[in-house]
Amino acid sequence: MRTFVAARRRSLTRVAWSLPLGGMILVLFVWPLVMLVAGAFRSQAPFLPGEWTLAAWRVALYNPGMLAAVWASVKLALVSTLAALLLAVGLAFVSERTDLRVRRLIMPSMLLVFVTPGIFYAVAFTQLANPWTGLVNDALRYALGIDTPWLNIQGWWGIYTVLILKKVALTYLFIAGAFRALDSSHDEASYLSGAGPLHTFVRINLPSLAPALTSVALLGLIAGLQVFEPILILGGPDNIVVIATLLLNLLGGGAGPADYAQASVLSSLFVACVALVYLGQLRLLGRKGYVSISGKFSRPRLLSLGALRLLVSILVLLFLLVSFVMPLGALLFSSLQPYPGVYSGFSFDRYVTVLQQPRVLEAIRVTLVLGVIVGGVVMTLGFAVAVLSRRLGRRSQAALRFATLIPLAMPGAVTTVAISWAWLSIPAFAQLYGSIWLVALALIVTAMPFASQIALSATAQIAPSLSEAARMSGAGPTQTFVEVILALAAPSFIAGWFMTALMVSGNLEVPLLLKSPGVNTLAVITYNLQSAGDYSMAAALLMVLMGVSLLLWGASQATLWLFRRARHLNHQRTRQRALALAAGTSGGLRP
Amino acid sequence: MSRVILNDLRKAFDGRVNAIRQLDLQIEAGEFFVLLGPSGCGKTTTLRCIAGLEEPDGGQVRLGERVVADAGSGLFVAPEQRHIGMVFQNYALWPHMTVRQNVAYPLKTRGRLGEEEQRRILEVLQLVGLDGHAERYPAELSGGQQQRVALARALVARPGLMLFDEPLSNMDAQLRIRLRQDLRRIHDELGYTAVYVTHDHAEALALADRIAVMNAGRLEQVGTPGEIFLAPRTRFVADFVGIENILPGRIDALDGDQAQVSLEQGGLRLVARNPSRLPPGTSVWVALRAAQLQALPAGHGAPAQALALHGVVSEATYAGDRYTGQVEALGLSLAVTLGLDAWGSPLLGRDALVGQAVRVALQPGAALAIPREAASEPLPAMRRPQEALA
């Protein structure tokens, strides 16, 4: 009798774990994709009476505007990915394998760049180098007494600069991380075979990082195809249209009427291409071994650059200057100016004005709530998927992980649209329309690929036998998840929480496209101010956003500290309780 | 103490061959039982089915009177409900807990930690010789100490059944021998049933009350260490326990427990033990341990032994207290021993031995007849040159 109860309990826990999670994944990730593809074959907007037709495809394939947008996206993605890859590999080499002093600055700067929202960059570079009031142009004008602007950030050059700088950070973090995890015996074997550090880097390290390099290149390509904020802010004068901004127009964000079917066609094509590239990569890497990670970490040999020291140091510093110090400085400076181009009367008035507006205070609250809640939920989901997928067969595992990667293949704009169509068909979700919770759900979906990657790599480092040992010790699956997996992965969990919270607070597409009138985040208000030409106010607001980010960072560090403290106290307590007992009695271990 | 019964157990992994096929096994209460076999033979899968970490596709697992898995009725008891202790190959200590917290965990999952439990933690740490290390973290311990903590954690809840998944394979040879003795001592002290998985036959011989040799998801032979080592019943087992010469032959006549056999190659006739009671005319493998084939200098005094055959040394390796080598005789290549008393002083090099004419003497009762069946496949990796002739 006992055994039957126990048996039923096990299958119940399994169902309790996998059914709601599976259902949620279906609703959040798969259903929107289905609706998206279906929309491409409908003659009317979703949920209006219409018929199945191929008309949209005919129009789309003969539409020169669409082809131009696709070509612009492809060009942007390829060029920025390649440039970022080269720069990041160079930086990774300097920071991991040379003895330059500046190498210690690289990792923290890249982390800062990575977590800074894209809109921050686009706005900062506008302040720095727009042809009318750009700080660099004004400085050059003043210093050299010439009239024509030297730099113009508006247009292709600006977009490339912003994209590449952002992408270098992501690529660098990926490569440097993989670098540090490399088995150092591979390097040592190469040294003993007569190769120096540079040779070892090129011949041994880079090839063994091939999986990491191709993954990050692929991610970069996909992200490049979806680029949105920089185009919106910097692409105006040249009339640059890419896939994401074309979608915005097709969906009624621009001048013309909404054309849902066209938007669906474009998105479906995009998703299909990305899926093909992704499968290709899987096949390519499937046969090779991945980066070997061992527990042995020894200091790699560092290359002395000799005569090149100064040159390389200056180049690195210059890069860090352009990628972080100057944009931040420009924003700070602009936020203190009364008007762009006016170099007197600096004050904190803009901050006072901004912080006195009720809608800004509301936006800070909304941004914080969205960041914290969405970050926490999406990381929990990511970990649940990662842990559950380890207990599944290989095929269901692949399917589950693939489902959470679907949003990666859909540009943020597409995801948002797909989500709102898909969920409007479900009554419970339809009621959410226009509320902060629909925005939150959409943000969860867009942040999921990132969260599940963090969770997968964090849990992959936890040997399965650690949870098996807990099961053998009498802990159920939920207790094992909390006390072993989450406890061990807590630092990754908290770091991931912080990063997703930042991504969420800087996200412009989702709140902009979901058109929830009551829900204004700091990013949306900043964009509105910027497009109205109110640069100084936008700058002040972005500095506030930076402050909010710092607040989130502080909160994440505090959480981590509390967590460690609790563990430490727990340890102290068990120790004292044990010490209080008189040690040693006769053996009573016989079963 | 609990008896373990596996009934027609089957397990396959998706896309792969059957890991376990139709396994029937009974492990007695209090027994130290070793599952022995090469990697991929299904021994670890069997252990994990007993633990509840794998769900069998077919058959039954019973612990004592309790059925814990029955594929037919869909019954499956979760591992945490089985009250089993398990020691993992990679120790599986939780790095975020101290030694004490690791060991306390199985008691904590079953209720509050009172004075009685704290005392028991100290006792079990004493038992494994780690009472001074309770406040350390696993990363601060050596491999041997970590495995002792893992053992303490498995023992602390006083399970009637302990499972060991190659617990000593990550350690150096000396440590392995010391821990092996400790494992056996603690088992004898506490009296639990132990199921122990290993691929190392020396470990199996030292630890086991009984051994089951597994191959390709099936049991090849179950028996005492003596039976497995001295009277392997299949060619696979003979190979696996390290019998160097396995030659094709045929039974000519019976003589009580013994049989007259003739080798196919060279027509040599000799007396072999015949524990399987194979009738005359049966094709057999004749198994000969190199340790029992002494190669003596050709002119050496004639010992009164059943077999003495002439040949030439083709290969010799110094092995401390003896040489091991190959002798070519009658078209056979035999692995033999060259004793130090006959060849050793002064120590000869390999070159001095190769080419020497020798007489090979076989100790009586050393040869063993093993049925030659298609079912029992030899290990490809362990093929010997003689098989090319077979």
β-pairing verdict for B85-87 and B307-318: unpaired
Burial of A176 (0-12, 13-18, 19+ CB in 10 A): buried
Angle among Cα B86, B89, B93 to the nearest 5 degrees reads: 70
Judge whether B106 is closer than 8 Å to chain A, CB to CB. yes
- The pTM of the full predicted model, rounded to 2 decimals, is 0.72
CB B87 within 8 A of CB B112: no
Confidence of residue A272 (pLDDT cuts 50, 70, 90): confident
CA distance A129 to chain B (A): 51
Please answer yes or no on whether B79 and A2 come within 8 Å at the CB atom: no
Give pLDDT tens digits for A50-70.
777 787 788 777 778 888 888
pLDDT band of B343, cuts 50, 70, 90 = confident
Question: In terms of CA atoms, which chain B residue is nearest residue A486?
Answer: B96
Buried-state track A325-362, b at ≥16 Cβ within 10 A, e below 16: ebbbebbbbbbbbeebeeeeeeeeebbeebeeeeebee
Contacts of B189 in chain A (CB under 8 A): 587
Are the Cβ atoms of B101 and A474 closer than 8 angstroms?
Answer: no
For the stretch A391-418, pLDDT in tens is: 666 667 667 767 777 777 666 667 777 7
- Interfacial A residues in 361-420 facing B (CB < 8 Å): 393-395
For residue B352, what pLDDT is reported?
83
Identify which of B76, B89, B190 has the shortest CB distance to residue A590: B190
pLDDT score recorded for residue A388? 78
For residue range A329-373, what is the model confidence (pLDDT) as tens digits?
988 988 888 877 788 888 888 889 888 888 889 999 999 999 999
Distance from C-alpha of A112 to C-alpha of A288, rounded to nearest angstrom: 34
Residue B232 tokens read as: 């392997």
- Give the span between the Cα atoms of B368 and B362, in whole angstroms: 12
Amino acid letter, residue B258: Q
DSSP A155: S
**CA-to-CA distance for A359 and A357, rounded, in angstroms?**
5
A7 touches chain B (CB under 8 A): yes
Give chain A's end-to-end CA distance (angstroms, integer): 23
Confidence band for B37, pLDDT divided at 50, 70 and 90 = very high
**Phi and psi (nearest 5°) for A291?**
-50, 130
Which carries the bigger pLDDT value, residue B314 or residue A272? B314
Mean pLDDT over residues A165-186, rounded?
Answer: 79
Grouping H, G, I as helix, E, B as strand and the rest as coil, residue A388 is helix
A243 vs A425, which has greater pLDDT? Answer: A243
Q: What are phi and psi of B153, to 5 degrees?
A: -65, -40
Q: Do A473 and B106 lie within an 8 Å CB cutoff?
A: yes
Cα–Cα distance, B87 to B93 (Å, whole number):
10
For CATH 1.10.3720.10, list the domain ranges present in chain A. Answer: 15-44+354-584, 66-243+309-347
pLDDT confidence tier of residue A8, bands split at 50, 70 and 90: very low
Q: For residues A441 and A519, what is the distance between their CA atoms, to the nearest angstrom?
A: 13
Least confident segment among A158-172, B22-36, B336-350: B336-350
B188 near A CB under 8 A: no
pLDDT digits (tens, 9 = 90+) for B70-86: 999 989 988 888 999 99
How far is residue A152 CA from its own chain's centroid? 28
In the CATH scheme, what is the code of domain A15-44+354-584? 1.10.3720.10
Structure tokens at A524: 């949306």
A12 inside 8 A of chain B by CB: no
Q: Which of B60, B56, B76, B1 is nearest to B33 (CA)?
A: B1
Specify the higher pLDDT residue, A230 or B187. B187
pLDDT in tens, B124-159: 999 999 988 998 888 888 888 999 999 999 999 999
Single-letter amino acid code for the residue at A110: M
d(CA A223, CA A72): 14
Closest Cβ–Cβ partner in A570, A584, A590 for B191:
A590
B50 — pLDDT class (breaks 50, 70, 90) = very high
Contact A413, A510 (CB under 8 A): no
Average pLDDT over residues A423-427: 73
Q: Is B155 left (phi over 0), alpha (psi -120 to 50) or beta?
A: alpha
The pairing of strands B283-288 and B18-27 is unpaired
* Interchain proximity B85–A472, CB inside 8 Å: yes
Residue A282 is predicted with a pLDDT of 67
- Looking at this predicted complex, what is its ipTM? 0.75
Residue B42 predicted with pLDDT over 80: yes
CB B3 within 8 A of CB B27: yes
- The 10 Å Cβ neighbour count of residue A58 is 11
Q: What is the pLDDT of residue B180?
A: 93
Selection from A244, A118, A84 nearest residue A502 by Cα: A118
Q: Out of A374-383, A430-439, B16-25, pick the least confident.
A: A430-439
Cβ contacts (< 8 Å) between B11 and chain A: which residues? none
- Residue B335 phi/psi, 5-degree rounding, is -80, 130
pLDDT digits (tens, 9 = 90+) for B279-310: 999 999 999 999 888 888 887 665 555 567 88
Say which amino acid occupies B353.
L
- Strands across the sheet containing B85-87: B85-87, B161-165, B193-198, B32-36, B210-215, B218-223
Is the C-alpha dihedral spanning B151, B154, B157, B163 positive or negative?
negative
* Cis status of the peptide bond prior to B346, with omega within 30 of 0: yes
For A295, the closest chain B residue by CA position comes to B139
Average pLDDT, chain A: 78
Q: What letter represents residue A454's amino acid?
A: I
What's the pLDDT band for B91 if we cut at 50, 70, 90? confident
Name the nearest CA neighbour of B62 among B72, B54, B70, B74.
Answer: B70
What class is the A66-243+309-347 domain? mainly alpha
Mean pLDDT of A527-540: 85
Distance CA A590, CA A534 (A): 80
**Residue A488 in tokens:** 């061990």
Q: Could you tell me if A227 and A78 are in contact, meaning their C-beta atoms sit under 8 angstroms apart?
A: no
Distance from CA of B36 to the nearest CA of A (A): 21
Question: What's the one-letter identity of residue A143?
Answer: A
Going by the DSSP 8-state scheme, the letter that residue B247 receives in this structure is: E
**Residue A590 pLDDT:** 44
Is A294 a residue whose pLDDT tops 60?
no
The least confident of A74-83, A100-109, A388-397, A472-481 is: A388-397
Taking contacts as CB-CB distances below 8 angstroms, the residues of chain A near B194 are: none
> Is the per-residue pLDDT at A383 higher than 90?
no
Residue A237 has pLDDT above 70, yes or no: no
